[in-house]
Chains A and B, each alone.
Chain A
Amino acid sequence: QVQLVQSGAEVKKPGASVKVSCRVSGYSATELSMHWVRQTPGKGLEWMGRFDPEHDETIYAQKFQGRVTMTEDTSTDTAYMELSSLSSEDTAVYYCSTIIPVTGTGAFDFWGQGTMVTVSS
């Protein structure tokens, strides 16, 4: 069974950066494209981007271009999402999620538990 375990809550000041981790178990992270989705308080889901380790390729949502970096450490099966130049509008729960080809759903089959990032002065 695939499990995605994320790092703990963060509190950051405006202008700072935050780096959230997502450790994969039950599957090889090198075979998974890791997506990041955020959810601002009381709002919906917002796709941020994807890192494809097989092709060493990233796709970022236009909204986050230039501010987000997604990477992966294959030695520890851990994916990372770093968001810079934080503002109060970035206060949200950040999820890692993946689409597992073998399930055949084509949907986001597995999700991390979410990481709350609070941006406050």
Chain B
Amino acid sequence: SYVLTQPPSVSVAPGKTARITCGGNNIGSKSVHWYQQKSGQAPVVVIYYDRDRPSGIPERFSGSNSGNTATLTISRIEAGDEADYYCQVWDSSGDPWVFGGGTKLTVL
């Protein structure tokens, strides 16, 4: 099965920019979705198809995808952004829907 690798944790000060990576073999050829999961809640889509934002998601959230790395960027970090973030792709081999291991974003 396709494997997605995320750093376990990222810490950033309020007002700064957080970048959360998602590594996978030639992930740039796939579409990546990103989810935010706050404590005790179900995940919420924050980025779909690499860089698109659902309605209601602040412009501070952006995404990119190239080569072997996809990146979720959150600018002007706020305390409310503290959450776990997961990347996800669809793969034609093995298990079709795959999640990364998740990254815990801590706002200092």
Contact = CB atoms under 8 A, between A and B. Distances in A.
A62 B1 contact: yes
Interface of A is mostly: mixed
A44 B97 contact: no
Nearest to A96: B42
Interface in A37-59: 37, 43-47, 50, 59
A105 B48 CA distance: 6
A107 B99 contact: no
A106 interface: yes
Contact size range, B: 20 to 34
A66 to B, nearest CB: 15
A63 B97 CA distance: 13
Nearest to B4: A44
Interface in B87-108: 88, 90, 94-102
Q: Which of A45, A50, A112, A114 has the most CB of B within 10 A?
A: A45
Interface size classification for chain A: 20 to 34
A95 interface: yes
B97 to A, nearest CB: 4
Contact of A107 (B37, B45, B96, B101): B45
A2 interface: no
Contact of A44 (B1, B45, B54, B99): B99
Interface of B: 1, 31, 33, 35, 37, 42-45, 48-49, 52, 54, 84, 86, 88, 90, 94-102
Interface of A: 35, 37, 43-47, 50, 59, 61-63, 95, 97, 103, 105-109, 111-114
14 contacts: A44-B86, A44-B102, A45-B37, A47-B95, A47-B98, A47-B99, A50-B97, A59-B96, A63-B95, A97-B42, A106-B31, A107-B88, A112-B42, A113-B42
